[in-house]
Chains A and B, each alone.
Chain A
Amino acid sequence: MNPLRSLVWKGEINVQIYVEESLLIGGKQQQHASSKPLLNLRFPRDTFLPMYLTSILNQLKLSLKYEIEKIIPRCWFSYNEKVLPWFLPIGVIFDMTMSNDIISRSNDTIKPTRRSIISTWPIKLHFKQKEETDRKLPYGFIPLIAGEGQLESFWMHRWKQACFIMNGSSKIMMQLARHETVSFWNSIKQRDLDGFTEISSKIIPASESGFRMVPIKYHLPYNNETNNFESPIQPVVKLIQNDNSKGPIVLQDVILKDFPDLIDINGEFKGFMIAQGIILQPSDSVYELYSSLLNIDGFLHIIISNS
């Protein structure tokens, strides 16, 4: 197995969970409590936030005003007052919100210190009661009405989509046996890389020439001006050179099609691309990147920044 896959699979993020005061017993008197992190956790990069929601709420249940079952369908996480899209892998949301931090740390020429190495991600848990009329649910909020089943279904559709992009149809995904589908989802929940690789290798073409297109999503960093995160950009990426030149398709070739401004007057690439918390090089082969850094939903998520 590719050793990079194993390293990426083990990647984790330090998360600080803050809780909205209205969710805590004591309400507004708990202002001091909502300004401090109530939990410090470490999440694997390649998982989804809702997978840990019940566990988070269980740890907080002595301080919570409402029952956990009541909270789950009407709660959301935010970073800097913006709703976090629960349907993206945690690592992707982290990279979108903390891209400047990742870039500045990579440029750090000073000897690394604890402060410069350890990065924490503060996110806040919110809840809105059905009866509350003085405020609305935030724009972009998708309720988790069916709990984990909803997440599983969403994830399955992403793999069908990725399968269609790679192979020209979702047939391979649809022909998986029931037990294979179940073990594929369990491999995500149980953090079993071998189980994940066993099923995903049936869907992903074995060689570069087998790819119809590569499932890639571009994300732009956290935006203070809009209500929420921007929609992702899904480029058409083929692994065949348009001209007669040989050599692999590199990242710069595909990114410049959508972002030509990322090249300066001298022909030098001036942007930053981040995937799985790693700053990518413009000369990296797209096929190699997909093979090593693909996310659990079958897509390679790349955060593009020009800062």
Chain B
Amino acid sequence: MSGLLIESENDSDENTVSSKESIASRNKFGPKLTQVGNTHLYDGAHEVYKVQEKLENYTRRLSQLGLGLDSEGSSEISRPSSSIALSPTQHSHTLNSGEISHQPSIHPKSPNKSKTHSPTPRLRRSVSSKSPQSTKIQIKFQPIGSIPQLRPNTCKISSHKPFSTINVFLKKRLKVENVFCYINNSFAPSPNERIGDLWAQFKVNDELIISYCAIVAFG
């Protein structure tokens, strides 16, 4: 619950920052617009809004003509650097049913630009400074059976890493060929799950408890 509250609080902050930044990024559309912005921004709030409105109209017109800023670039500017990059929609390959039978190749090397070009920015997960996604989280290791104990038995790891990182780390530290990891002595997470998400859902006293074993412990 607290995680949700923290996220929602920061989301609003981020939106504010994001909107300011995106205005800044729009100023880069052309020298003429930058000049207009610089001249009037100091004249008062009313003038600022007028400039913003003009910029927005200009952006809209550029989008309609398909001449807008590269969406990759604009999204990079409007998001904090800690954001987790997610899927681009501008490169998504659209397959209409029936196309397949007419196309001998199913793996085009480069997507069809006329179909895929879109001004839609890349979708990104919101990451705030207080959320577990952007920080390091604490993990407590517990051995099961005859496998050696890790010393120290706690460590911190970046929350955006996949769970497979833990597996690799344990194999390296313990110098074993196989290691089976479980959360809260219950289940083995999927190797591609983010550690931060697991921490948010299964933490005990702000620690993610991972048990490890040389053989299968919980089938």
Contact = CB atoms under 8 A, between A and B. Distances in A.
A225 B91 CA distance: 8
Contacts of A231: 162, 192-194
A304 B123 contact: yes
Contacts of B192: 85, 140, 231-232
Interface stretch (B25-33, B38-46, B140-148, B182-190): B182-190
Interface of A: 16, 18, 35-37, 80-81, 85, 87, 98-101, 104-105, 114-120, 122, 124, 140, 142, 153-154, 156-158, 160-161, 164-165, 169-170, 174, 213, 220-225, 230-236, 238, 242, 256-262, 271, 304-307
Contacts of B8: 242, 257
A56 to B, nearest CB: 16
A170 B123 contact: no
A230 B191 CA distance: 12
A120 B97 contact: yes
B92 A257 contact: no
Interface in B62-97: 86-89, 91-97
B190 A164 contact: no
A118 B98 contact: yes
A236 to B, nearest CB: 5
Given A169-B184, A222-B93, 11 more contacts: A35-B105, A116-B96, A119-B97, A160-B218, A161-B183, A221-B89, A233-B125, A242-B8, A271-B123, A305-B123, A307-B92
B197 interface: yes
Contacts of B193: 231-232, 234
Contacts of A85: 192
B128 to A, nearest CB: 10
A262 to B, nearest CB: 8
A85 B200 CA distance: 24
Contact of B125 (A81, A120, A258): A258
Contacts of A170: 184, 186-187
Given A236-B3, A257-B11, A35 B104 contact: yes
A104 B184 contact: no
B187 to A, nearest CB: 4
Given A80-B107, A307-B118, A164 B184 contact: yes
B124 to A, nearest CB: 7
Nearest to A271: B123
B219 interface: yes
A222 B86 CA distance: 10
* A-B complex: 8 closest residue pairs judged by Cβ atoms: A220-B87, A160-B187, A115-B98, A234-B197, A307-B89, A170-B186, A224-B91, A119-B97
A119 B186 CA distance: 40
B186 A242 contact: no
A234 B218 CA distance: 23
B179 to A, nearest CB: 16
A108 to B, nearest CB: 10
